[in-house]
Chain A
Amino acid sequence: MRETFIATTTELLAEDPRTALVLADISAAAFEPARRRHPDRVLNVGIREQLMAGVGGGLALTGLRPYLHSYAPFLVDRAYEQLKLDLGHQDAGAVLVSIGASYDASAEGYTHQSPGDVALLDTLEGWTVHVPGHADEVPELLRAAARHDERVYVRLSEQQNRSAYPGTDLKVIKQGPRGAAVVLAVGPVLDAVLDTGLDVTVAYTNTPRPLDVNRLRELVHDEIVVVEPYLAGTSSAAVTAALSRVPHRALHLGVSAAEYRSYGTPADHAAWHGLDAAGLRRSLSEFLGRD
C-alpha cells in the first residue's frame, strides 16, 4: 500500500498544481524524485510532526491541498492538538496518509503502533476515514481526496486481503442464510472473517467514517458483529446510532487497549488480540451461541 501511495501521490503532484505533500522524514527518499520536480510543493520538515500539521494547515489556508504522511502514531497521536486546531478549528482540510496501523511495526514495539488513531479522530468533527483492505483500493481514495478540501484520513497497512473491493460503500461479500448474523469487516481484517467459515453474512467497508448507515440498516435485522483493525469498539457509537430503531444485539471486536509488550510478527499480534480466524471464530461462536 505504501508503494501505491507513493506512486499515486507522485502522479497527483504532477497532474494537479493544487496538490502539496508535507513529510516528516518518513518516506522522504521515496518521494525525492517528486521533490526535485516540485520543490515548492513537496516539503520535508524533518522530524517535526507538530510542524508538519501546522504547515499543512497554513498551506490549506492559501488554497493548496496538502497531503501529510508519517507513521500513524506520529501523524495522529503525537500531533493530535495540531490536527484539532491547525486543521479543524481553522475550518481547513488536509489528507493524512499513515502507515504502520495498529501493529505492522510489531518488532519496533508500542512506540511505533497506533491502535487508537481512528478513535482519536472520532473526537473531532468532519473526518472521513478510509481503511483500505488492499493496495488496489488505495489510488481512487487518494485521487478522490484531491478534488475537495475536507479532512480525510487514509490508514494504510502492510496487512491486506486476497482481493480488492474498490468503492467506499458497505458491500456484502458473502451472503449468509436468511436471518443470519451480519459481520462487518473493516479493511484488512476481511480475510480473517471469511476464514472463520461460519454461516454468517459478511459485509465489508474500507470507509468506516462516515459509516454507510443506510446500507447497514438494510442488512441488519438482529445480530451485528463489527470487526475493526484498530481499537475494539471504536465504531460502537456509530453503529448504535445507525441501528437506533432496530432491536439488535451487537459485538464489537478489534485491538485491545492492553499493551502486550511482546514483539514477533503482525500475525502474532492479530492472534493475541483475537483477530485471527481462530480467535474470531471463538468470539463469534460464543456471541452467536453456536459451537
Chain B
Amino acid sequence: MTVTAARPDLLSRITADAKHSPSAWSTFDVLWVLYDRVLRVSPATVEAPDRDRFLMSKGHGPAAYYAVLAAKGFIPQKWLDDVAGAASRLGHHPDRVLIPGVEVGTGSLGHGLGLAVGTALGLRAQGYLQARTFVLLGDAELDEGSNHEAIAYAAAAGVDVTAIVIDNQSSTHGWPGGIATRFHGWRAAHVNGRDHEALEAALNRRDRGPYVVVAAVEKKGS
C-alpha cells in the first residue's frame, strides 16, 4: 500500500473526521518512511531478538501510528474502527501489552528516550550489533527534564540510538538556538518532515553513537 492510499483511508477511519488532529498528522510521514523503508521489522519478526526497535515516545495522537501499523499488517485494519472503545486494544495512547509491534507503552511524556537508551545498550550487550534503536519525540516533549538526563548520558557513553524529534513548534517556550543544540555531543540532521526521500536518507544513515534527526513540519495549529 502506498502512503497516498494509506493516509486518507486509514487515518480518517480512526478519526472519523476530515480534519484530523494535528498531532496525528505531524508524525505520519516519518512513521510511514520508517516502516516502509527503514526498519528491519515485520509482523513476522515482532518477537525476534535482533529486530530493529522503534519506540513511539510521544504517545499523543497515535492515529497515524495505528494507521501505519495496520497498513503494514501488524494489526487488523478493523481495529481502527473502535479506537478507545471498551473492547478496543487501541487507546488514545499506545500500550505495548495490547498491540503487536508496539515496543513501549507511552503517553506520559519524557519516558521513551530513557527506555530507548536502555534498549540500545541491551542490544549491544547481547551482541545484536545490526539492530538499530529509533525513538520518536515531539519538540514540546523535550520540555520534560528526563530527556536531558538521557541526552547527556547517551553522548557520554556513545550509545547507538537514533532520536527523531518532530518539530511542529508546539513547545510553549520554544528552543531558541534550535533543537539540535540541546543534543550536545550527538550527530544531527535537519530534514523536512514531509519529504520522504530526505527522511529516508537521513534515517538510513548509519554511524556509531547517538544521532538526532530533527524533522520539521508545519507549526501546530497552522
Query: Chain B at the A interface: mostly helix, strand, loop or mixed?
Result: helix
> What is the minimal beta-carbon distance from B86 to any residue of chain A, in angstroms?
20
B53 → chain A, closest Cβ, in Å?
A: 8
Asked if A86 is at the interface of the complex by the 8 Å CB criterion, the answer is yes
Instruction: Answer whether residue B71 sits at the interface, using C-beta atoms and an 8 A cutoff.
Output: no
Whether the Cβ atoms of A61 and B153 lie closer than 8 Å is no
User: Per-position contact with B for A85-108: 1 when CB-CB < 8 Å, else 0?
Assistant: 110011100000000000000000
Q: Indicate if the CB atoms of B97 and A81 lie closer than 8 Å.
A: no
Most B-side CB within 10 Å, residue of A43, A51, A64: A51
Number of interface residues of A (CB under 8 A): 30
A55 within 8 A of B: yes
Query: Which of A46, A48, A61, A81 contacts B122 (CB under 8 A)?
Result: A61
* Cβ-neighbour of A63 out of B49, B113, B114 (below 8 A): B49
B114 with A54: CB separation less than 8 A: yes
Please give, as numbers and ranges, the residues of chain B lying within 8 Å of A89 by CB-CB distance.
95, 105
**A186 on interface, CB distance cutoff 8 Å:** no
A81 & B117 in contact (Cβ 8 Å cutoff): no
Identify which of residues 51-100 in chain A touch chain B, using a CB-to-CB cut-off of 8 Å. 51, 53-64, 66, 81-82, 85-86, 89-91
| Size bracket of the B interface | 20 to 34
- B108, A58: Cβ atoms under 8 Å? no
Which B residues are in CB contact (< 8 Å) with A91? 96-97
Asked whether, in the complex, the Cβ of B118 is within 8 Å of the Cβ of A90, the reply is no
With A41-B125, A57-B115, A90-B115 already in contact, the answer to whether A46 and B108 are too (CB < 8 A) is: no
Highest count of chain B CB atoms <10 Å: which of A45, A46, A48, A53: A45
- Given known pairs A46-B156, A62-B126, A63-B126, the reply for A55 and B105 (CB within 8 Å) is no
Q: Are B105 and A58 in contact (CB under 8 A)?
A: no
B149 within 8 A of A: yes
Kindly state whether residue B116 has any CB partner on chain A within 8 Å: yes
Q: Can you name the residue of chain A whose Cβ is closest to the Cβ of B123?
A: A62
Tell me whether B89 is interfacial, beta carbon within 8 Å: no
Report B-chain residues with C-beta under 8 Å of the C-beta of A56: 118
Residue B146 CB within 8 A of the other chain: yes
CB distance from A149 to the nearest CB of B (A): 13
Interface of A toward B, CB cutoff 8 Å: 20, 22, 40-41, 43, 45-46, 48, 50-51, 53-64, 66, 81-82, 85-86, 89-91
Q: A58-B118, A66-B118 are in contact. List 6 more A-B contacts (CB 8 A).
A: A43-B121, A54-B146, A58-B122, A59-B125, A64-B126, A85-B111
